[in-house]
Amino acid sequence: MNEPKKYMNPYLGGVLLGLVLAVAFWVSGRGLGASGAAKSVIVAGVETVAPSHAENALFYQEYGSTHEHPLKSWLVFEMLGVLVGGFLSGALAGRLHFKVERGPNVSSRIRVIFAVIGGIFFGFGAQLGRGCTSGSALTGMSVLSAGGFITMAAIFGTAFALAWFARKLWL
């Protein structure tokens, strides 16, 4: 039970991530991203559950005018691949367990609440920044976009500034 977890060498992982990004540009002509997939799924859901709202709301009208069908977006297929790949990686490495990772001084419930709050803030920030970490920062930096470098600096700077406040979730 106390055997250390086996993870990929982080330097190799970084190189492989760079190669995946290069292949994404070569195959699709675009980089990586995740927040666009979430937006596509939400749009498809609203169109299914509340079609009259989707027809009358400006956001959905504009989205529909530039996209054939929300679930046919390449980002949706990318995220499906990430989910399947992550599942397979965890299964093959024997790390496929349903658990809440947390520090010794915090309950699982508090950890989940803070994870949800953090996810909401990150999703809101992805909308404000017009992309998530992988789309705005990683892909942006790969094409030497000033916005990509600013986004990455803001993400890590904010994380560093707020780490002291969230440390009890882990320590």
4 has pLDDT over 70: no
* Amino acid in the structure at residue 49: V
Whole-structure pTM value: 0.71
Q: Is 9 helix (H, G, I), strand (E, B) or coil?
A: coil
Q: Does the pLDDT at position 106 exceed 80?
A: yes
The more confident residue out of 148 and 168 is 148
How many Cβ atoms from other residues are within 10 Å of residue 148's Cβ?
Answer: 20
The confidence score (pLDDT) of residue 123 equals: 83
One DSSP character per residue, 62-125 reads HHHHH-S-GGG-HHHHHHHHHHHHHHHHHHHTT---------TTS-HHHHHHHHHHHHHHHHHH
| CA triple 137-138-143, angle to 5 deg | 95
Long-range contacts of range 102-106, CB-CB < 8 Å, 24 or more positions apart?
Answer: 102/169, 102/170, 103/168, 103/169, 103/170, 103/171, 104/171, 105/168, 105/171, 106/168, 106/169
List pLDDT tens digits, range 71-87.
888 888 888 998 999 89
Instruction: Give the pLDDT confidence of 21-30 residue by residue, as tens digits.
Output: 899 889 888 8
Residue 139 pLDDT > 90: no
**Sign (positive or negative) of CA dihedral 63, 64, 70, 73:** negative
Q: How confident is the model at residue 49 (pLDDT cuts 50, 70, 90)?
A: very high
As a whole number of angstroms, the distance between CA 171 and CA 168 comes to: 5
**Per-residue pLDDT for 2 more than 70?**
no
